[in-house]
Amino acid sequence: MEETRTPAAGAGAASPAARTGGEPRSKNSPVRCHGRFQGPRPPRVCPFCAQKAKTIDYKSVEMLRRYLTDHGKIKPRRKVGTCARHQRMLSAAIKRARHVALMPFATEATRGE
Amino acid sequence: MSYELMYIVRPTLDEQALVTVNERVDKFITAAGGEILKREDWGKRRLAFPIAKFTEGFYSVLQIKLAPTAVRNLERNLQLTEEVLRYLVTRVESA
């Protein structure tokens, strides 16, 4: 039953990028199993706050792509560590980019092509 | 008020026809008392997903100044332009 706790493999492989900005963790807390979600922790500061971003441009596709899953869904805050305000701006930007076909609603993998 | 207009034109047009469409769009704005600050043509670009069975399209991005009440009319004109597959008007927060 408790085997599912080992976090490394499954979720970790899904988003290695989410980890890059973070600090080495688990120094004095090898066990953090009280919450329900056991995945890789996102960087502690919002990546957009770090740049003091006032707006998020829907045209910067390469940058926005980092916030999509392999299937083209918008990654949740717990995976990318954005603050609430910037996550809102981010999701609006991604949706705008989708409208003008700069980004996919679903990737080929999902569409089964 | 400052806006940004992005629109996608059918990929089947030749160069001459594309210029005509772009000029028509420009006229939509200027005729409504607007001003085009900057025009950026991205050329033919792949669409992330097919629109009206096309897999690519000509992208253009305009930075414009336009009365807020005129935006509606601009959008209507774009919608009535058959060569335009998609458009997007966004407000630009300017200092």
pTM exceeds cut of 0.80: no
Residue A108: what pLDDT? 76
How does residue A15 score in pLDDT terms, banded at 50, 70 and 90? very low
Comparing CA positions, the residue from B42, B47, B55, B50 lying closest to residue B12 is B55
Task: Measure the CA–CA gap between A21 and A43, rounded to whole angstroms.
Answer: 5
C-alpha to C-alpha distances, B88 to A23, B5, B72, nearest whole angstrom: 39, 6, 12
User: Please, what is the average pLDDT of chain A?
Assistant: 75
CATH T-level assignment (fold) for domain A54-113: 30s Ribosomal Protein S18 (4.10.640)
What pLDDT, on a 0 to 100 scale, did the predictor assign at position A3? 42
- Helix/strand/coil for B9: strand
- Beta pairing, strands B2-9 & B84-91: antiparallel
Convert A63-101 to b/e letters by CB count within 10 Å (16 or more is b).
ebeebbeeebebbebebbbbeeebbebbbebbebbbebb
**Looking at the complex, does the CB of residue B38 fall below 8 Å from at least one CB of chain A?**
no
pLDDT above 80: residue B27: yes
Residue-wise pLDDT tens digits, A66-110: 999 999 999 999 889 999 999 999 999 999 999 999 999 988 777
Tokens of B52: 């009206």
Tell me whether residues B49 and A105 touch, CB distance under 8 A.
Answer: yes
How many structural domains comprise chain B? 1
pLDDT band at B46 (very low <50, low <70, confident <90, very high): very high
Range of the domain at B16: 2-91
**Interchain contact B86–A (C-beta under 8 A):** yes
Establish, for the pair of chains A and B, how many residue pairs have beta carbons separated by less than 8 Å: 31
Beta-bridged to residue B6, according to DSSP, are B61, B88
Of A7-16, A67-76, A83-92, B20-29, minimum mean pLDDT range = A7-16
Q: Give the start-to-end residue ranges of the domains of chain A.
A: 54-113
Q: What is the ipTM of this complex?
A: 0.86
> Residue A45 pLDDT more than 90?
no
Q: Kindly report the CATH number assigned to the domain that includes residue B22.
A: 3.30.70.60
A84/chain B closest Cα distance in angstroms? 20
What pLDDT is stored for residue A33 in this prediction?
56
For tokens 């996608």, name the residue. B8
On chain B, the residues whose CB falls within 8 A of the CB of A59 are 6, 61
